[in-house]
Amino acid sequence: MNDDVINFWLEVSDTIALNVENAIKNAASDPEVDTITKIGADGTPTHKIDEYAENAAIKTLESTGHSLILISEEIGTIKIGDDDPEIILIMDPLDGTTNALKQIPCYGISIAIAEIKDDKDINNITLGNIEIGFVKNFANEDTYIAVKNQGALKNNKKMSISNISNLSEATVCNYIYREDKERVNKLLSSIRRLRLIGAISIELCYVADGTYDAFLDTGSVRLLDIAAAQLILKENNGIVTDKLSNELSSQLDLMETTSIVAVANESIHKKIIDLIN
């Protein structure tokens, strides 16, 4: 992507976030906002608030006049526009639905973008091809952006990632409900504190900005949830692998899942990999 294309899609991402945020605020007056309306394309329950969010995002994308492939939580994979698609945009319009409904201040939007250079390559685009990452926490307006090979920013400022090297001093986010008890006990006995809020894209960004020292899910997190934030973390010198220390390289697909170990530095990464394996 050249700079003009990058800036265009960053502006679109910002507009999507603004429109989704307004849709969520307006949805608060709907007494059925927390109702489960269907099972989404990703196989999880869709609340009415999710539909408000996704509809606002799709409407914004349709207004750009550009053709693209959209991969989104509720609607699945669709093509927007009549021309050959320029990008694949993978999006969770509302990450942290339960938090939004209960007003726990950690919920927002995740947008990741990869350029389509050749129609023949559409099915071969992977997580490693993501060139733009955008995550916004609607509760406090914190906005994280990254452009591949150009770094990452929080609220348009550089971030300071953690330099903690001892697990005994580390704050770790771990989706422990997917873990076996033995592994959880090993982790809990090795770290300083555990945190789990329930908005994966934002919590991955917490590693990028130094709030957390590490994030891990050794089960099966969806690419949809991590596509944008993993780029943000890597562009701020963080490390992102699967639980076996392999680089994440899965194809961009709604149902694709992976384990993830996302950390601030190599020292913490090695210790966590050794611990969980």
Question: HSE of 67 in the Cβ direction (CA atoms, 13 Å)?
Answer: 9
What are the CA-CA distances from residue 116 to residues 5, 69, 85, 122, 203 (Å)? Answer: 12, 9, 7, 6, 29
Beta-bridge partners for 240: 262
- Lookup result for tokens 């033995």: 182
Tell whether residue 275 is among the known ligand binding residues: no
Tell whether residue 94 is among the known ligand binding residues: yes
Do 172 and 216 meet the contact criterion of CB atoms below 8 Å apart? yes
Give the list of residues 6+ apart from residue 67 with CB closer than 8 angstroms, or none. Answer: 79, 80, 81, 82, 83, 84, 85, 86
Tell whether residue 83 is among the known ligand binding residues: no
Tell whether residue 231 is among the known ligand binding residues: no
CA distance 35 to 244: 39
Tell whether residue 73 is among the known ligand binding residues: yes
CA distance 218 to 243: 6
Binding-site members for Mg(2+) are: 73, 92, 94-95, 225
Binding-site members are: 73, 92, 94-95, 225
